[in-house]
Amino acid sequence: METKSRYQVIAELEDKKSNLIRERDGTKEATQKQEQDILNIQRAIEDISVQKEDFDLAQLNKVAELEREKIDFQFKIKNTESIFNRNLEDANAKLKNFTAVEKEKTATLNELIKGVDSSLERFNKLAK
C-alpha cells in the first residue's frame, strides 16, 4: 500500500471539497432550472386560458356584429318595402285615375275626330 504525504491527503480533501461544493451549487441550479421549467409550463397553461377567453370574446363580438348587420339590413329592407308599397299605391291611383279619365278622353277625342271629319266633308263639298 502506498502511503501519502500529509500534503497530498490535504490536497485530495480540498479537491474533494471543491467538487462537492460545485455539485451542491449545481444541485441548486438544477433545482432552479426545474422550478423555472414548471413556472414556464404554468405560464403556458395561463396563456391557453387567456387565448380561450380572447377567442370567446372575439366570437361574441362577431355575433354582435352580425346582429347589428341583421338589424341594419332589416331596417333598410323595411324602408325599401315601404317605398315600393307607396310606389305601388301611387301607380294604382294613377291607373284608377287614368281609366276614369280614359272614357271621357276617348269620347272627347271621338267628338274632335267627328268635327275634323265634318270640316273635311265641307271643304270637299266646297271644292266641287
What is the tens place of the pLDDT at every residue in 47-91?
A: 999 999 999 999 999 999 999 999 999 888 888 888 999 999 999
Q: Please give the residue that has the higher pLDDT: either 36 or 21.
A: 36
Distance CA 43, CA 40 (A): 5
Separation in Å, CA 26 to CA 19, 23, 37:
10, 5, 16
CB-based burial, 65-84: b 16+ in 10 Å, e otherwise: eeeeeeeeeeeeeeeeeeee
Where residue 1 falls among pLDDT bands split at 50, 70, 90?
Answer: low
Where residue 122 falls among pLDDT bands split at 50, 70, 90?
Answer: confident
CB within 8 A of 39, min separation 6: which ones?
A: none
Tell me the three cell numbers of residue 46: 395561463
* DSSP run (H or E) holding 13: helix 6-127
Burial of 89 (0-12, 13-18, 19+ CB in 10 A): exposed
Where residue 4 falls among pLDDT bands split at 50, 70, 90?
Answer: confident
